[in-house]
Amino acid sequence: MMSENVKASEIRRIYFYSDYLKETYGEKVYKLPINLPGTCPNRDGKISTGGCIYCAESGANYDALSNTLSVGEQLSINRTYIGEKYKAKKFIAYFQNFTGTYVPLAEFKSRLEQAVSDGVVEISVSTRPDCLTEEYLLAMREAEEKTGVRMSLELGLQTANDETLKKINRGHSVADFVRAADLCKIYSLPFCVHVILNLPWDTREDVVRTARLISKVGAEGVKMHSLNILKGTVLAEMYARGEIKAPEREEYVERALLFLKNIHSGIAVHRLIGRAPEEISVVENFNASWRSVYDEIVNEMERRDYIQGMDVCKEFCL
Binding-residue total with ligand SF4 (CB under 6 A): 11
- If the CB atoms of residues 156 and 309 are measured against ligand SF4, the closer one turns out to be 156
Which distant-in-sequence residues (6+ apart) come within 8 Å of 22 by Cβ? 28
Alpha-carbon gap, residue 17 to 275, rounded angstroms: 17
Question: How remote is the C-alpha of 223 from its chain's centroid?
Answer: 4
Nearest to 78 by CA among 94, 101, 100, 60: 94
CB of 40 to ligand SF4, least distance (A): 3
**Complex with ligand SF4: residue 51 or 221, whichever CB lies closer:** 51
Stretch that binds ligand SF4, among 51-59, 74-82, 138-146, 239-247 (CB under 6 A): 51-59
Q: How far is the CB of 22 from ligand SF4 (least distance, A)?
A: 30
Distance from C-alpha of 168 to C-alpha of 162, rounded to nearest angstrom: 10
Nearer to ligand SF4, 210 or 262 (CB): 210
Return the residue of 14, 36, 52, 253 that touches ligand SF4, per CB under 6 A: 52
Question: C-beta of 56: minimal distance to ligand SF4 in Å?
Answer: 8
Considering only 43, 223, 225, 255, the residue that binds ligand SF4 (CB under 6 A) is 43
Q: How many CB atoms lie within 10 A of CB 241?
A: 8
Closer by beta carbon to ligand SF4, 228 or else 308? 228
Q: Does 247 bind ligand SF4 (CB under 6 A)?
A: no
| Candidate residues 42, 96, 152, 233; the one interacting with ligand SF4 per rule CB under 6 A | 42
How would you label 132-159 residue by residue, b for 16+ Cβ within 10 Å and e otherwise? beeebbebbbebbeeeebbbbbbbbbbb
Burial grade of 282 (CB within 10 A; 0-12, 13-18, 19 or more): middle
Stretch 77-116 residues interacting with ligand SF4 (CB under 6 A): 98-99
Distance (Å, rounded) from C-alpha 193 to C-alpha 298?
20
User: Is position 55 an interface residue for ligand SF4 (rule: CB under 6 A)?
Assistant: yes
**Sites for ligand SF4 among residues 128-147 (CB under 6 A):** 128
Quote the CA–CA distance of 261 and 212 in Å, as a whole number. 10
| Residues binding ligand SF4 (CB under 6 A) | 40, 42-43, 51-52, 55, 59-60, 98-99, 128
